[in-house]
Structure 1
Amino acid sequence: MELLPSAHADTFARDHLPPPHAWPELVFQLPELAYPDRLNCAAELLDATVTRFGPDRPAFRTAAGEVWTYGELRRRVDRIARVLTEDLGVVPGNRVLLRGPTGPWLAACWLAVVKAGAVAVTVLAQQRAQELATVCAMARVQFALCHASALADLRRAGVPGLRITPYGGTDPGDLLHLAAEHREGRDDPFPAVPTSADDVALIAFTSGTTGRPKGCMHFHRDVLAVADTFSRQVLRPRPDDLFAGSPPLGFTFGLGGLVVFPLRAGACALLLEQAGPRQLLPALAEHRVTVLFTAPTAYKAMLGELDGHDLSALRRCVSAGENLPADTWRAWHERTGLRIINGIGATELLHIFISAADEDIRPGTTGRVVPGWQARVVDPDGRPVADNEPGLLAVRGPVGCRYLADPRQGEYVRDGWNLTGDTYVRDPEGYFRYVARADDMIISAGYNIAGPEVEEALLRHPDVLEAAVVGRPDERRGQVVVAYAVTREGSAVSEDALRAFMKDELAPHKCPRTFVFLPALPRTATGKVQRFRLRDLE
């Protein structure tokens, strides 16, 4: 595939794309995906939206009641872009690390970096020094915009040559002070760098469920493509919507759901620094949130806290990050009347590519292929399997996996398809049902046992809050099923009681041989269970 002429002066990102023959086939089926050769996604999300809807609409809100209009957001983004280019010396193609709590200033920094033609590398505020050092080394990061409250670990990372500019503090060199200096006589709009549609706009790092992270490089057109497929075709937001959710902006689920999708629709986002289940519910009620993005575990946790919270404004609930159990879907629907929009996405593909909404939803399935995407279920050799037969999920569409100088590209992309690492079943009506992560399949005495099926059964016990199931090596059976459980505070449930419960829920060969009680499951900063750590224990 021949790339368009780049606007990047620093060509590191393009130079470290996988070779074209290792890319997946890209598919642009919808007319909305016919983007021009010159495209800056930040300008499209912000400047073009102001042109369509005017500058006075609210763009971002905070829990404290602060409101940024689109006009104010654009002025602040443009000032930050001027600081980047005029004061700090950032040139198109430089990588800029972004680190801080979810809030309007972090979103504005992301937009400014991309508008200035640089490459945004957004990391999680919870990541520690060694993790940050790894990311900076892999992406050869030269600049960082970091919230004053999150500076310590970044400084401790000791990244050679990294220029760190704090924001949100009192330092005279604070980004916001520098930006304020651009008000006097230089408050004219910052012209977006005319990047190519296939210039890299961001490098998103996988969240570490399997060990060393992978850098996923995404183009300017990719950012708009996920908005013009899943958001436009399935979620269908309205300009008067107020989005909110728990995923941080360093997680592509959060970047899409809390920045890209609302801005593309001319809507508003409530950006919460604290967004656990107990903080979400009062915020949803107080601010009259209409669109919610969070994980299955949060929906389950909120079920027990719903009383006293008015969710009557809520009209859309999106779940991704992990499989959504059918029981959680049904319980949420029974309590709220709302149908959770389940979905599967991947950092490699930026956002959701299989989903369903409204009457198209079937609880217990992920949904159908999002318009603009293609998916099938294949065997280990890449051959399609029959409907109702399990196999590996293969996907292609307008966005594809392009790892940053990583030999694992050849594992993820085969024969032009992205292999997500999930085992799925497709039914004759085109619904895809999640079985397990491919490496979470447990083979015991010749039986294939899907860990998530055992987890769902265990979660039906009233005293079990969280569960994760892995295989333990066994001489006679190859593997045996081991369940790790987090129980309710004060619960006295025993291993024997859980064993008896599971025998009524599942066939004997699927029942765990051992139950291990933990105070918490090991999770990534984005909330995904790190089953590889549990397998290491075994």
Structure 2
Amino acid sequence: MELRSSAHTDTFARDRLPPREQWPHLTDLGYPDRLNCGAELLDGTIERFGADRPAFRDASGPVWTYGQLRDRVDAIAHALTGQLGVRPGNRVLLRGPTTPWLAACWLAVMKAGAVAVTVLAAQRPKELTTICEIARVRYALCDIRSVEDLTRAGVPGLRVTTYGGDGPADLRQLARPGGAPYPAVATSADDVALIAFTSGTTGRPKGCLHFHRDVLAIADTFSARVLRPTPDDVFAGSPPLGFTFGLGGLVVFPLRAGASALLTDWGGPEQLLTDIAAHRVSVLFTAPTAYRAMLPRLTGHDVSSLRRCVSAGENLPAATWQSWYEATGLRLINGIGATELLHIFIAAADEAIRPGTTGLPVPGFQARVVGTDGAPLPDGEPGLLAVRGPTGCRYLADARQTEYVRDGWNITGDTYVREPDGYFRYVARADDMIVSAGYNIAGPEVEDALLRHPDVSEAAVVGRADEERGEVVVAHVVLRNGVPADEQTVAALRAFTKTRIAPFKCPREIVFHTALPRTPTGKLQRFRLRSGPGSAGPVADLQ
């Protein structure tokens, strides 16, 4: 499809799209040429459901209705364009804990026709400097609690406006609600709405360019067709809004459905369970790690309001799925998404769920398993996952575009198997396959076996170079409280895994930790485990 004419006067983002021949094949969902996702998610939803419905709430403050949210968003948009000088197409950095104010800033940037660059509150000055350099950011809206590191980043020419403070230049003073409505900029459906940065754990981060139509597409595919929310749902979860899993699950999906969301920063599993009961949360978004952490704490917490639980961000082990189902009666919706595709593209819900698989392509998406040459592989044979649909990878001026997109398909970097009935089963990240003495061993399979042991809280499996075998399997394990990190436990874990997987797959070394290294978004940093033992306990050589 041809690009529609742009409403951006600052064409930086469009000028740095990859060449069209390097784009993935994109499905047209029939959106109009002129489309502003902020207006659709807010003004359009008010037209359908009314202004008096609850929209956002935080842990302690009053509920914002849709009408109150629009008043605040329009006031921020007026401040952006009138007092701060933001033009359509300018990049605006957004930084802060997950709050209704951060979400309102994002919506205001959308309505103003600017480009949102939402970053994590946990990112440090050097990371912020790199992101601002890549995206040429000159404006920032930042929670006063998160401004120190942004100031220390020393980004040349960056104009930072804080919110949550008391000064006259604070955004809340500049953007007092009650003024004139803000007429949303008539952006093109193909204008860049946001630049989402990959975590950058293995090199320079990549900026992923997503259009206004992409934002609505994730709501009109996964959310509408698999999650199926209702206007009475209350959404909540742990992912921050700087993580596209969180942006979709806590802002885009509830607003598109006329529902509400609890927007509060991650306070640990105990706090999340408390929030579920206090706010009658019905739709939950979090990672497998959090579901495992909540399991032993369920007693004494009321989770009866939950009806939908979505797991993404990393592989969901079958053992975790089964334990959650037995404890709550709820079927976890497993999903795989990517920053490059904005949100989830393979999943299943309700009776279609098959524990141990990710699921089926979300309606609107296609998926297949291919070899390194790009040719489709037969069912049952592991290979690279290839996906295409209404969203796809468009890196910001990055030569790695041709690594991710091949022959019109997004190659996600995951090893999968397609079962004969069409279900897709996760094997490993392509770079997490361990080749030991000629055997291909998937780390997640070994992790799943370990997690079935009652003494194991977390497990991560990686390969370590070995002169004799090429690689050996090393398990990094967090034990439950009170379990000794000794040789007896090592022997028990090894014996246990041998009853569940082939002996050649069992870990030859076990390293005990008090915690596993993770990114601010909760993803496991396996590269740090590969770099050395970092043991918090004994290292057992299980030859």
- With the shorter chain as reference, the TM-score category is over 0.9
State the alpha-carbon separation in 2 of the partners of residues 406 and 507 from structure 1. 42
> Where does structure 1 differ by over 6 angstroms across 4 or more consecutive aligned residues?
none
The 8 Å contact of residues 469 and 483 in structure 1, kept in 2 or not, is answered as yes
Quote the Cα distance in structure 2 between the aligned partners of 1:390 and 1:216.
28
Which of 520, 525, 528 is the aligned partner of 2:520?
A: 525
Q: Aligned partners of 1:205 and 1:198: how far apart in 2?
A: 19
Given the alignment, which residue of 431, 435, 441 partners 1:439? Answer: 431
Contact 1:24–1:413 (8 Å) recurs in 2: yes
1:181-237 residue CA offsets vs partner (Å, 9 max, x unmatched): x64xxx121000000001000000112343321111100000000000000000000
Q: Deviations over 1:164-191 (max 9, x none)?
A: 00001112210001112x64xxx12100
Given the alignment, which residue of 324, 340, 353 partners 1:348?
Answer: 340
In 2, Cα distance between equivalents of 1:537 and 1:138: 31
Per the alignment, residue 27 of structure 1 pairs with 27
* Structure 1 Cα separation of the partners of residues 532 and 387 of structure 2: 33
Give the counterpart letter for 1:217 in structure 2. Answer: L
Structure 1 position 121 matched with structure 2 position 117: yes
Deviation at 1:461, TM superposition (A): 2.1
Q: 1:280 aligned to 2:272?
A: yes
The equivalent position to 1:103 in structure 2, one of 99, 104, 117, is 99
Contact 1:208 1:524 in 2 (8 A): no
* CA apart distance, 1:308: 1.0
Distance 2:503 2:420 in 1: 30
Amino acid at match of 2:12: F
Structure 1 contact 292–314 (Cα < 8 Å) conserved: yes
- Which moves more between the two structures, 271-280 or 402-411? 271-280
Q: Which moved more, 1:476-485 or 1:213-222?
A: 476-485
Letter in 1 for 2:496: F
- How do 1:378-417 and structure 2 match up within 5 A? 378-417=370-409
Is 1:79 the equivalent of 2:75? yes
Secondary structure in 2 aligned to 1:217?
Answer: strand
Distance 2:160 2:388 in 1: 38
Q: Does 1:458 align with 2:444?
A: no
CA drift at 1:153: 0.3
Aligned to 2:173: 177
* Counterparts of 1:115 and 1:266, CA distance in 2: 18
The CA distance in 2 between the partners of 1:280 and 1:27, in whole Å, is: 37
Q: How far apart are the structure 1 equivalents of 2:95 and 2:504?
A: 46
What corresponds to 1:363 in structure 2? 355
How does the TM-score come out when normalised to structure 1?
0.97
Distance, in Å, in 2 between the alignment partners of 1:467 and 1:367 is 23
Distance, in Å, in 1 between the alignment partners of 2:420 and 2:44 is 41
**2:222 match:** 230
| Range with bigger deviation, 528-537 or 218-227 | 528-537
Contact 2:221 2:362 in 1 (8 A): yes
2:9 equivalent in structure 1: 9
- Alignment of 1:491 onto 2:511: no
Which whole-Å CA distance do the structure 1 matches of 2:419 and 2:493 have between them?
Answer: 33
**Secondary structure of 1:442 counterpart:** strand
Task: Tell me if the contact between 1:95 and 1:142 (Cα under 8 Å) persists in the aligned partners.
Answer: yes
- Which is further off, 490-499 or 433-442? 490-499
1:464-479 alignment to 2 at 5 Å? 464-479=456-471
Of 508-517 and 284-293, deviating more is 508-517
Q: Which residue of 1 aligns with 2:540?
A: none
1:323 is paired with a residue of what secondary structure?
coil
Q: 2:496 aligns with which of 501, 522, 526?
A: 501
Larger deviation, residues 268-277 vs 527-536: 268-277
Q: Are the aligned partners of 1:368 and 1:430 in contact in 2 as well (CA < 8 Å)?
A: yes
State the shift of 1:328 in Å: 1.0
Whether contact under 8 Å (2:144, 2:164) holds in the other structure is yes
Return the offset for 1:311: 1.2
Mapped contact 1:424–1:433 kept (Cα < 8 A): yes
Aligned length: 530
Indicate conservation of the 8 Å contact 1:209/1:531, yes or no. Answer: no
Opposite residue 103 of structure 1, the aligned amino acid is T
Deviations along 1:333-386, one digit per CA (max 9) or x if unpaired, are 111111111110000000000000001111111010110000000011011111
Aligned equivalents of 2:290 and 2:483: distance in 1? 20
Aligned letter for 1:100?
A: G
Counterpart pick for 2:52 among 49, 56, 61: 56
| Cα separation, 2, equivalents of 1:292 and 1:120 | 25
Matches of 1:38 and 1:380 in 2, distance apart?
39
- SS of the equivalent of 2:483 reads coil
Instruction: Provide the C-alpha distance between the structure 1 equivalents of 2:369 and 2:496, rounded to a whole number of angstroms.
Output: 33
Letter in 1 for 2:171: L
- Paired with 1:236 and 1:337, the residues of 2 have a C-alpha distance of 19
Counterpart CA distance in 2 for 1:251 and 1:54 is 29
Q: In structure 1, what is the Cα distance between the partners aligned to 2:372 and 2:266?
A: 42
Q: Show structure 2 runs of 5+ residues with no match.
A: 534-543
Which of 236, 245, 255 is the equivalent residue of 1:253?
Answer: 245
- Check the 8 A contact 1:209/1:528 in 2, yes or no: no
Structure 1 SS opposite 2:175: helix
3-state DSSP of counterpart to 2:518: coil
Q: In 1, distance between residues paired with 2:61 and 2:143?
A: 20
Q: Which runs of 5+ in 1 are unaligned?
A: none
Deviations 1:291-323 (CA, angstroms, capped at 9, x unpaired): 111111111111101111111111111110011
SS state at 1:537 partner: coil
Residue 271 of structure 1 deviates from its aligned partner by 0.9
Q: Which residue of 1 aligns with 2:539?
A: none
Q: Report the AA paired with residue 17 of structure 1.
A: L
**2-structure distance, mates of 1:434, 1:4:** 37
Structure 1 residue 17, shift from structure 2 partner: 0.7
- Contact kept in structure 1, 2:319 and 2:451, CA below 8 Å: no
**Residue 69 (structure 1) aligns with:** 65
Asked if structure 1 preserves the Cα contact closer than 8 Å seen for 2:277 and 2:302, the reply is yes
Aligned alpha-carbon RMSD (Å): 1.1
- What is residue 264 of structure 1 aligned with on the other side? 256
Q: Counterparts of 1:265 and 1:309 in 2: how far apart (Å)? A: 28
User: 2: distance between equivalents of 1:315 and 1:488?
Assistant: 28
> Letter of the aligned partner of 1:273 in structure 2?
D
Q: 1:42 aligns with which of 33, 38, 41?
A: 38
Deviation, structure 1 residue 83: 0.4
Q: Secondary structure at the match of 2:395?
A: coil
Q: Tell me, yes or no, if the aligned pair for 2:336 and 2:346 is still in contact at 8 Å.
A: yes
Deviates more, 1:232-241 or 1:304-313: 304-313
Cα offset, 1:274, TM superposition: 3.2
User: What CA distance in whole angstroms lies between the structure 1 residues aligned with 2:93 and 2:492?
Assistant: 49
Q: 2:239 touches 2:266 (CA, 8 Å); kept in 1?
A: no
CA distance in 2, matches of 1:169, 1:308: 38
Q: Percent identity of the aligned residues?
A: 75
Q: Is the partner of 1:406 in helix, strand or coil?
A: coil
